[in-house]
């Protein structure tokens, strides 16, 4: 009887430890995802490392994307999901301040690019 009690105690403790590790890992993963996401829609232009998107408000955004490949969307209307920079930086090509937009997702959008 004592052996069965010991075995049950060990199983309960192991299950509790496994559950607490998963909860911690999930909360760590969620904290790495930006809390505030924005969407912008417009025509994607440029080439690798120099993508831009002029949104519906006429604002040209410099795009940064370490994980999303934008090459196949150049010249097309897209909706981008990501994080807008708080302060614009100066584009070396135009010497004008442009907001940076870190792209997390890309989705085809309706509309024509000119």
pLDDT tens readout for residues 35-76: 688 999 999 999 888 999 998 888 899 999 888 999 999 999
Assess whether 56 and 72 both reside in one domain.
yes
> Which two three-digit tokens encode residue 23?
């909860």
Assess whether 63 and 13 both reside in one domain.
no
Assess whether 22 and 55 both reside in one domain.
no
Assess whether 49 and 20 both reside in one domain.
no
> Which two three-digit tokens encode residue 105?
């997702």
Q: CA 1 → CA 6, 8, 14, distances in Å?
A: 9, 11, 20
Alpha helices in the chain, H assignment, sequence order: 2-31
Assess whether 13 and 58 both reside in one domain.
no
Q: pTM for the whole thing? A: 0.62
Q: 24-57 burial, b if ≥16 CB within 10 A, otherwise e?
A: eeeeeeeeeeeeeeeebebbbbeeeeebbbebee
Assess whether 29 and 5 both reside in one domain.
yes
């Amino acid at each position: 009887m004592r052996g069965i009690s010991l075995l049950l105690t060990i199983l309960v403790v192991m299950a509790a430890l496994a559950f607490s590790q998963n909860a911690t890992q999930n909360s760590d993963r969620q904290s790495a995802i930006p809390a505030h996401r924005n969407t912008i829609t417009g025509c994607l232009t440029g080439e690798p490392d120099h993508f831009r998107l002029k949104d519906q408000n006429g604002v040209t955004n410099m795009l940064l994307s370490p994980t999303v490949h934008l090459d196949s969307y150049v010249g097309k209307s897209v909706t981008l999901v990501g994080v807008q920079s708080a302060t614009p930086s100066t584009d070396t090509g135009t010497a004008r301040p442009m907001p940076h937009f870190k792209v997390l997702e890309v989705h085809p959008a309706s509309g024509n690019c000119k």
